[in-house]
Chains A and B, each alone.
Chain A
Amino acid sequence: MEEKKEGMLTPYRVLDLTDLHGLLVGKLLGDLGADVIKIERPGGDMARDIGPFYQDDPDPEKSLFWWAFNTSKRGITLDIESADGQAIFKKLVGTADFITESYPAGYMDRIGLGYDVLEKINPGIIMVALSPFGQTGPYKDYKDSGIVAAALGWMMDQFDDTDRPPIWIGGHPQTSLLGSMEAASAAMLALFHRGTTGEGQYVDVSIHETVSRGASAYRRAVEEPPSDKTDDKADDKEDDGSPFLRKGRSGGGTFVNPTMIRRIWPCKDGYVILLWWAGPNAKRWNSPLVEWMDSEGMAGYLKEVDWDAFDWRYVTWEQADQMEEPTLAFFAKHTKAELLEGALKFKAMVYPVSTCEDTLQNPQLEARGFWQELEHPELNASVTYPGEFGVFSEAPAVVSRRPPLIGEHNKEILEEELGMSAQEVLALKQSGVI
């Protein structure tokens, strides 16, 4: 295994007790150099059952969900509810700087490993608890999943076709990743605070609060909304049957600039995204594409639009159609790759709707050396992973280890680091503690 380079967090140790909702926290701290010990229940974490799987083999060592969020960690198994398991955990707490956990609210207290207990062992410990709704409040015991958090957190407000239920981002729960990111950044803020005060602390991170972010941003959340109804075309449209479908337009209306025109456009081999802007920057942001279309003789009606005066509030459906027509025709003529190339040349904000295949071929990521190969010797394979989340001049973020196998570092950590005897470790194994 590759030696870890000096990272920003190299001196620190993280005990990672999270489940599928919080695995990303430890992964990122590990990328920053921390010694992250993933503590799984004996037999392995349930997140290992989540697909897709390497070569479609549903083996807990081959979950790609697990792989994605457990690089840069070592791993042990430990039953933290058992007396022996708690004794070992407490020893580890004495050597650690952070604990991350995502159990239901209050669970750690109930099993006797609450912050009050652990801070007595190590006053500098920073305990970051990620939970669906936070540790307090009327919903604290409510359960979460990606779509539940997205629904409650307004994320599904804008993205529904009127004849089907609202949707949010597909795949695994994005909302938990958002919560994990907040937890990781909160851990760093608490670390800074420890640097100035010498004290650790408990950090209560709510996924629900994390995703409820946009709610106050715009007019509707202002306590006294402005009364001028000319700004309310979005509302008028909703009264107008199902405009997006009637017009064959995809979802994504927004309250800010009630655009009446699609944003995702079919092209020759897939889709691209392009927003026609209004407002003070409309000319600057729209003109490059119009010039480019014009250079191929395809700008049509768009050449006549006075962008300085362009305001969605006064655009009629007919005008929107007139804008849409040449845009559709232009994109239909080109592939995603051609459109990106042209966008770069003309500085037009046209981007491909990438598939994962497209992403792996993105020249920018290639040029920045984003992808990182990790050896999986037990599979005799080398796997390409997303790499550094930022490029840092002094202490790089490095994806330093492939994800741990179940109990891979039990011996290394319990025997070599905690000084237990081989016999003691064997006894723990036999009694199901590890």
Chain B
Amino acid sequence: MPTKVLEGIRVIDFTWAFVGPQTTKTLADCGAEVIKIESATRPGFWRTMGPFKDNEPGLDNSFPFGIFNTNKLSATLNLAYPKGVEIVKDLIAKADVVVDNFSGGTMDRMGLGYEELRKVKPDIIMLSACMHGQTGPYNTHPGFGNQLTALCGFSHISGWPDREPVDLGAYTDTVAPMFNVLAIGAALDYRRRTGKGQYLDMAELECGLHFMGPQLLDYTTNKRSANRKGNYCSYAAPHNVYPCKGDQEFCAIAVYTDEEWEGFCKVLGNPEWTKDAKFSTLAARKENETELDEKVSEWTLNLAPDEAMDLLQAAGVPAGSRKLQMDMQTNNPQLQARQGFMPVDHSVLGRQNVRRPPYLFSKAGYEMRPAPLIGEHTEYVFKEILGMTDDQLEELVIEGVIE
């Protein structure tokens, strides 16, 4: 079994939807013991969201749940009962980190706010991730990553200048978990050095805006709001996604430097048009970019996307074939060589190929265990960690506290 970087850390996980589970998945994949607190009567988002195994809804049948929750444990507890809240606090007293991503103030209302948790574990690190943060006038406004992506300004700058902005999906949902892991990692070291825990109030909006930095500064200093530009980039040409041989096949090409332009021309066999003054400098290419793109497309249309990519990359030109989700695991030698996805065998879902964190440590490794069935580790958690007896456990089941 490989050494893992977060070995010895215990995380109590109240997360749902995307940002929270992705945050705790990273912690779990890196070796923390992550215990999901779940309810069978009020199951979480992904437990009830398909696609399902055999198209049959069921708490253990969700493919996405399987993918977002590898290496985690599941214990069931009904937090509507005061006893449920007391038990989870006992568990938190034996934990290092608590993570939730409810809308602002929810944990407080459940009696599980940071001030309460500090009483049972003075050095607890608690991270609450929500859309807008725990404070301020919008703190309880519900939303998902798609909406936040629009609110951050990403949608407005994405798409074609003559068309509507694009719904980019839940982009900021992929940004926020990394900020969360960064904050938790730093807080763990701070606790090690000072003995102090802390409360980490994370807003997906604020995280996302750090990815809009240059555009925001353009507004604060030049009063200019960035707009849609298709795939164009002010300091590169060609810089677009070009049609290739076949139906809906594409290759992205980006030429920044003179050296890359020379490499590009060479791959094309230095045709006459590349020597035209209209294309000889970056400034000229920017000016004649529509015509340039037509010329490039004439060349790419004769090639398969991977062919165009390999030829250009061999000449030092950034290029990449456009992949579809379905291609990723079967048709990507790089991901295969580095095991970017690792297989897990889930007792209900069968084999899933699951993403590992996108970094390799020289002195630690990874191991993928499947996502838990609901309540799979209830007994372990309450007996092994909290030291309950079989009788106590049975009583709680009868009372409905443990589901």
Contact = CB atoms under 8 A, between A and B. Distances in A.
A388 B207 CA distance: 9
A50 B235 CA distance: 7
Chain B interface SS verdict (over half):
mixed
Contact of B150 (A178, A207, A353): A353
Q: Which 4 A-B pairs have the closest CB atoms?
A: A188-B185, A68-B213, A209-B358, A252-B167
A164 B160 contact: yes
B217 A206 contact: no
Interface string B59-82: 000011001100000000000000
Nearest to A152: B320
B114 interface: yes
Interface string A390-424: 11111100000000000000000000000000000
Nearest to B30: A189
Given A178-B174, A202-B362, A395-B190, A68 B217 contact: yes
Nearest to B322: A151
14 contacts: A52-B214, A144-B318, A153-B323, A171-B212, A202-B362, A216-B354, A223-B352, A256-B51, A281-B45, A351-B151, A353-B155, A358-B153, A389-B183, A389-B207
Interface stretch (A192-200, A296-304, A318-326): A192-200
B292 interface: no
A384 B220 contact: yes
Interface in B322-351: 322-329, 332-335, 337-338, 340-341, 349-351
A356 B201 contact: no
A357 B219 contact: yes
Interface in B165-201: 165-169, 171, 174-175, 178-179, 181-190, 192-194, 196-201
A354 interface: yes
B211 A177 contact: yes
Contacts of A350: 147
Interface stretch (B84-92, B223-231, B269-277, B383-391): B223-231
B146 to A, nearest CB: 6
Nearest to A169: B158
Contacts of B155: 264, 271, 273, 353
Contact of B215 (A133, A171, A368, A384): A171
A212 B355 contact: yes
Contacts of B187: 8, 392
B370 interface: no
A215 B239 CA distance: 25
Interface stretch (B33-41, B105-113, B133-141, B372-380): B133-141
Given A182-B359, A216-B353, A154 B323 contact: yes
Contact of A196 (B7, B194, B220, B231): B7
Nearest to B313: A142
A138 B337 contact: yes
B254 to A, nearest CB: 4
A151 B332 CA distance: 12
Nearest to B118: A393
B390 to A, nearest CB: 35
Contact of B357 (A67, A162, A182, A360): A182
Given A167-B166, A186-B357, A364 B136 contact: yes
A107 B64 CA distance: 39
Interface in A131-173: 133-134, 136-154, 156-162, 164-172
A2 to B, nearest CB: 19
Interface residues of B, number: 159
Contacts of B207: 389-390
B326 A221 contact: yes
A226 B55 contact: yes
Given A215-B329, A218-B64, 14 more contacts: A143-B317, A151-B322, A152-B321, A158-B169, A164-B230, A188-B185, A191-B189, A209-B358, A226-B52, A279-B48, A344-B137, A349-B143, A368-B135, A390-B183
B19 interface: no
B167 A263 contact: yes
B49 A64 contact: no
A221 B353 contact: yes
A243 B357 CA distance: 37
B220 to A, nearest CB: 4
Nearest to A351: B147
Given A156-B322, A395-B190, A216 B352 contact: yes
A201 B293 CA distance: 45
Contacts of A170: 157-159, 226, 228-231
B53 interface: yes
Contact of A204 (B153, B337, B360): B360
Nearest to B257: A46
Interface string A196-232: 1101011111111110111111111111101010010
Interface string A51-81: 1101110000000110111000000000000
B142 to A, nearest CB: 6
Contacts of B193: 11
A273 B152 CA distance: 12
Nearest to A196: B8
Contact of B318 (A65, A145, A171, A381): A145
A33 to B, nearest CB: 9
A250 interface: yes
Among B143, B151, B198, the one with the most A-chain Cβ atoms within 10 Å of its Cβ is B151
Nearest to B242: A165
Interface in A250-265: 250-252, 254-256, 263-264
B321 A252 contact: no
A428 B156 CA distance: 48
Contacts of B357: 182, 186
A49 interface: yes
A163 to B, nearest CB: 10
A258 B353 CA distance: 23
B93 interface: no
B381 interface: no
B165 A143 contact: no
Contacts of B28: none
B20 interface: no
Contacts of A117: none
Contacts of A28: 182, 210
A357 B182 CA distance: 29
Contacts of B202: 389-391
Contacts of B159: 167, 170, 250-251
A112 interface: no
B323 A64 contact: no
B153 A359 contact: yes
A167 B233 CA distance: 12
Contacts of B157: 169-171
B358 A182 contact: yes
A24 interface: yes
B209 interface: yes
Contact of A368 (B133, B183, B221, B363): B133
A161 B224 contact: no
Contact of B224 (A52, A279, A388, A391): A52
A357 B210 contact: no
Contacts of B225: 355-357
